[in-house]
Chains A and B, each alone.
Chain A
Amino acid sequence: MLAYIARRILASVPVMIVVALFVFLLLRLTPGDPAAIIAGDMATPAQLDQIRQSLGLNEPLVTQFVTWSGQLLSGDFGRSLISRTPVLTLIGQRLEPTLSLAIVTMIITLVLSIPMGVLAAWRHGSLTDSAVMAVSVLGFSIPVFVTGYIFIQIFAIDLRIFPVQGFKSISEGFWPFFSRIFLPALTLATIYIALIARMTRAAMLDVLGEDYVRTARAKGLSERVVLFRHALRNAAVPILTVVGTGFALMISGVVVTESVFNIPGLGRLTVDAILARDYPVIQALILLTSGIYVVINLLIDISYAFMDPRIRY
């Protein structure tokens, strides 16, 4: 088991190196002088020179990459060209809202979608099944910003249960945090509920036809045990895959939701950085999202081994 985990971790190192190389080349290979791009139209020659110096642009590409990677490894991601604050600090400030949003979204998704999928598969062909499928089609087809504004209209303006928008850290108390994060999370969750409920249903339908499910019933076990202990665990691998990639995609998908609900998270930071051509920030954000992808994939791989003993080779 440990050997398996070690192998998976080792296998993710080359992926990160390739990503780093790509991010590095992103700036270097953009047509024109990177220093001129960074400095903007109004720069003086002296400023350009200074930027070239600071980026080490006069060195050969390989040396530049090694120096740059070395800086990354020691935690130096450079400074924002706009605000002059270190990129890491900038991202640190924005990480909490986004992570909170992602995690709450995932919790809502899992709590709703998996039982929905299991129920639909168990009652295959029934009204319940059709209802779950209908909800899932809706979840897929309505754009996030529409769902978001509908929820605001209903829950915040008409029913006045939650504030319209904004974000409060969990350190300021659970309710202030939860009341603000719930609507955006639910909004974001609609797509994932649709996706994962469908996936769960499909995987469960496959598994429910298996011989060992019949065996479990022949043993006189209750339907709850048959469904959740015998069937769901076997259906877990494809579901986990979707949950994992879904979570990773969510990190990049929060942009719209953060805008609708005015949450100062990574999504907003990304938009701002791209609009302002703040290259160091963009680079760091790409690295961060790729890093999250890689780590999540690693976690999925490891969780496979926990779910299915046949994978622990």
Chain B
Amino acid sequence: MKRCSSFCILAIAVLACAACGPAEPIEFRYNAVEQLKQERLFMDEGEHFPDSSREEVTSILKILFGTPDRPQRSDEAAAILDLTRLNMAAGPVESEIDGTPHGLYREHCAHCHGISGDGAGATAALLNPYPRDFRLGKFKFKSTPLRTPPTDRDLTRILHNGIPGSAMPSFRLLPDEEIAALVDYVKYLSIRGQLERTLLAEISSLDGESLFEIEQSETAPEIDSMSADEVPDAIGPEFLEDIVARWQNADERVTAVPAAPAGFQIGHADHGNLTSQGRELFFTKGNCTQCHGETAAGDGSTVNFDDWTNDWLKTPGIDPYDRESWKPFMALGALRPRPVQPRNLNLGVFRGGDAAEDIYRRIANGIEGSPMPASAALSSNEIWALVAYVKSLVHANDKFSKP
């Protein structure tokens, strides 16, 4: 009888807790790592951003972008973001009677990439490589040059194909409209994150003044009652226009791939003289061995970090091997610095796509955010020769011999 009573009390307690109400709505995570970086870069030791900064930045972003449950699209972003798609991807996971889904981002992406696209979702610390932080606006595998956002096609392709050898899955089983919704939401998070970083950089240049130049006590009610039109142009929309313009023009900046030279056979390992020419370039002019190593197994002598780590690690001059110096950043949400592992080309796995054109673009454009540079000094024929050599590596027996 005692046990029955205990059970009843426990059940009532749980139900009473449940009756307290639904879970708190989820908010975007503030980029505190960027704030600390800016403070380290531009302020004297012990000085910090004004107390109101966080609230100001958060409020401006809320006005222009809404919340994770109710995304907004400002006029500036109307050309590149579809609000219907954003609503499909945003919010908690649920679906309508006809199967129309909502909350696609939280269903498929948030556990790794995080609610705000900071690449620090719940599972992030255990994944290698870390999930992408969208807030820098940098994407590795794309058809556009460095410092240019990817096209929708690039993002769709990564979502569709996944990235082999990583935790990034293939969403090929999702309908096209759901993938399109996720692409728009990734762009939305990326643009939001870029504006947040821009605003924080702006604050660092204000010499301790408030972004709105108003008293802190008046800040909250004034900002909260603002509409998107009322945000001062010089603070939000002007910066936003610049960021959006870069995304808008991405399609026009796709790197054209010239026709492969005679002797290059798509789908074959034997490319004749091109392969030996490529091997020569691999060891000499291309300087590929520095990272990929002489065996092309990714065992070169250089130790590098990617841009997502360097952004908060090297920019403010923090020693990556001094744990104590980067602990404060980790406490704010940064992930432990990990050196980049150059690709083992002998495996024949190319994360950005294994078609000859994909590898050509990888070599020509480099890989954004990674130590892989764009090959400014190589002609298109030389790049094709490198493609031929790289493609042949998985088959070649003499691949480890120096030319």
Partners in one complex: no
Interface residues, chain B, with chain A CB atoms under 8 Å away: none
Residues of A within 8 A of B (CB): none
